[in-house]
Each structure stands twice: as structure tokens, then as C-alpha cells.
Amino acid sequence: MLPGRGRDDRTARLPRVVGTRTAWTPIGDGEFFCPGCGGDRNYQRLTGRRRLTVLGVPVLPRGESAPTVECAACRGHYGTEILDHPTTTRFSAMLRDAVHTVALAVLTAGGTSSRTALETAAVAVRAAGFEDCTEERLSALVEAVEADTGRIHGEPCVPGLAIELHEALDPLAPHLAAPGRESILLTGARIALADGPYTPAERDALATVGAALTLPSADVSRLLHSAGTPS
Ligand SMILES: [Zn+2]
């Protein structure tokens, strides 16, 4: 009853008579970024059982297929590793949080006394997607961070802020090409430079930003230097 080796060779020459069909069973769903139709889509997670078919009729089990993700829109099938990529919505939120956290870290390092630094930070944070961000709100947040950490103006980057920076930037870094990561660092640099040259605390905060964005420290130094040099 079981087909032998010779029979298998024949099946290859007779694909229309003998083939393999996979019966898919949904085991979960969610939202993902579909590279096939290019957007945030619903997906179904499928587990498949393959069967040998003769004239389209399943006759013999052929084992399990690897778990698969099917796009609800284009019906494209992908390996489950596709779910490691953030959706566009999630990616935008990560980017927005990153800029907000970098702005807070740099402002906390430099102190809130400077109106120009607050204005530069608020413009950057609004551009990143927090449309109702104001100078007053940022100022209040920085004061809250300072009160929370018992921090005195001018101290190096406090451990709490370094953790916040890593939490906001670590998950984003693998999904952002180098120019995107550099652009976040440069946003921080512009905020630091708005009220004059970098202070040691601002440099320290920006070095933490660069490290969390997995930028080589030589690149961080070069970028910070070029941002501080009028062209
Ligand atoms: Zn699709």
C-alpha cells in the first residue's frame, strides 16, 4: 500500500495525478505587517497537515507543515518569524516614545532653565507624533524626574534615565537602519546644543542614547562633533 521509492519518482513526473495537499487549521490570530501587500493586516496562525493526494483526493498523511502565518488580505503565507517585525502602528509608537525619552534625558541632563532647549525639544517631540506636547509639559516632566531621582542639575546621566533610554531604544534599534538611528541621536544633540555647547552631563546622556541605539562609539563622537560645528 505504501508507495516505494520508484513510485515517488513517478509522482514527480505526474504532478497532476499525485500531489501533496496541506490542510490548514487556525491556531491563533493577530495583527502583523504583511510584506506581500505592504501594510498592517490581520493574520491567522496556521498549523498544517500534509497529505499525499491522488487525483486531488487525500490518501496518505505526510506529516506536519511548519507553522505558518496567513495574511487575511492577500492570503500570502509566511514563516512565523514575520511576527518579530513590528506593525507600522507599533513602529510609529516606538519611534515617538524614543524621541520623547531622548528629549527628556537631554533636558534633564541640561536642566530646564533654558527656554530655547525646551522649545527645540517640544518641536522634535511634536514632529515625532506627540502632537499636544508643549514646553510646559516637558518642563513639568523634567522636574518630576529630578524630584523622583533626587538629582541635582549638572550630574551625569542618572541610572534611572539610562534604564529608561534602554527600555525605549533597545526594542527599536534592530528595526531601524543606521540613518534612522543617527537621526534620533542628532535630535538629542540639537536639543542639547540649543542653549550652548554640550555640558559633560549632556554628552554623557547622548553617549547613552548612542549606545542604546547600537551606534559605534566612534560614530557617536563624530556625529556629536559635527552637530556642534556650524557648517
Ligand atoms: Zn498581505
Q: Which residues neighbour ligand 1 (ion) by CB within 5 Å?
A: 34, 36-37, 71, 73-74, 76
Q: In angstroms, how far is the first alpha carbon of the chain from the final one?
A: 80
Is it the case that residue 50 has pLDDT exceeding 60?
A: yes
User: How far does residue 80's CA lie from ligand 1's centre (Å)?
Assistant: 14
Instruction: Report pLDDT for 72.
Output: 96
User: How far does residue 204's CA lie from ligand 1's centre (Å)?
Assistant: 44
pLDDT band at 4 (very low <50, low <70, confident <90, very high): very low
DSSP class of residue 199?
Answer: P
User: How far does residue 27's CA lie from ligand 1's centre (Å)?
Assistant: 18
DSSP class of residue 129?
Answer: T
Q: How far is CA 49 from CA 15, 67, 205, in A?
A: 19, 10, 53
Q: Name the average pLDDT for the chain.
A: 87
Q: What is the pLDDT of residues 138-182, one digit of tens each?
A: 999 888 887 776 655 555 556 678 888 999 999 999 999 999 999
Instruction: Among 115-129, 141-155, 207-221, name the one with the lowest average pLDDT.
Output: 141-155
Percent of the chain with pLDDT over 90: 64
CA distance 183 to 169: 13
pLDDT band at 53 (very low <50, low <70, confident <90, very high): confident
Q: Is the dihedral of CA 138, 144, 145, 147 positive or negative?
A: positive
